[in-house]
Structure 1
């Protein structure tokens, strides 16, 4: 029972974290918008780098990109809450039922990994050369999130057995 409860708590922890991220992006839109804008403009990458042709200087595109990130985070948040609550509801049910209840949690954790790995580490970090910026480099925080979400995903997907 403790392992199942642990899985529930970790998924709910992810849901809580994602909720805070979405809340902050709505209540302080401009702070993280500046991050997205600078990464897409590549204006703090190494001078004269050969990747500057990738830079996007359209404020409208910056807003669309940031709004897409917020939407993705919001969807991840809702599904994470659904996943955590589904696991809690199945906590004392047979193992097959608990294992089947993991689907929303798996979806939310996967969506989070895709956002922070593909969106931030791959696209932001490598395509827009975010790694070259001393100011607007979000690779370390994104990596931490990918690791946390990945370990949680591995743990949650470990099949549960009947409890005594």
Structure 2
């Protein structure tokens, strides 16, 4: 039972983290986080100069800060985080309901938590490390570089996913 409760607590902790991320990104700090996305997509702080900026998505009307694509990209990130949060929250709830169930039932209850954790890991790896970091060369910016944070979140959530996916014990009394 202890291992199961630890798994539930960690999935719930990821759900709480994602909930706070969504609140910050969507409501409390939209402008600064939007600015981060805008600068990464514009590739306006690279040390390699102009050789790779053909990849950049730059506002055709500089200065107004209202290019729709930046907002659409940012809203997609927020929605991705919100779906991951909802799946982890529901997953933790399902696991909690099955905490005393036989091993097979508890294992089956992992489905939504696994989906939520995986979706979140995909976001950190695909959207931030791959697209932001490599395609838009975010790693070259001393100001707008979120790769360390993205890797940290990818690793933390990955550890939770590995722990959740691991066997719960040899028999029900061990779980």
Instruction: Sort the TM-score into its range (normalised by shorter chain).
Output: over 0.9
Alpha-carbon distance, 1:160 to partner? 2.2
| Residue number in structure 1 paired with 2:4 | 4
What are the within-5 Å matches in structure 2 for residues 85-96 of structure 1?
85-96=93-104
Query: How far does the alpha carbon of each residue in 1:102-156 deviate from its partner, in whole angstroms, 9 at most, with x for none?
Result: 0000000000100001100010000000000000000000000000011111110
The count of corresponding residues between Structure 1 and Structure 2 is: 164
Distance 1:153 1:48 in 2: 39
What corresponds to 1:156 in structure 2? Answer: 164
User: Which aligned pairs between 1:58-69 and structure 2 lie closer than 5 A?
Assistant: 58=59, 59-69=67-77
- Divergent runs of 4+, >2 A: 159-163
Q: Show structure 1 runs of 5+ residues with no match.
A: none
The CA deviation at 1:47 is 4.7
- Where does residue 15 of structure 2 map in the other structure? 15
Alignment of 1:101-112 (within 5 A): 101-112=109-120
**1:54-96, Cα deviation, whole Å (9 max, x unpaired):** 0001321101100000010010111110010111000000000
TM-score, normalization by structure 1? 0.97
Matches within 5 A, 1:9-158: 9-27=9-27, 28-58=29-59, 59-158=67-166
SS in 2 for 1:96: helix
Question: Structure 2: any 5+ residue segments left out of the alignment?
Answer: 60-66
Cα distance between partner residues in 2 of 1:14 and 1:74: 12
Shift of 1:159: 2.4
Larger Cα Rg: Structure 1 or Structure 2? Answer: 2
What is the root-mean-square deviation of aligned Cα atoms in Å?
0.9
1:48 Cα shift?
Answer: 1.9
The structural deviation recorded for 1:42 is: 0.3
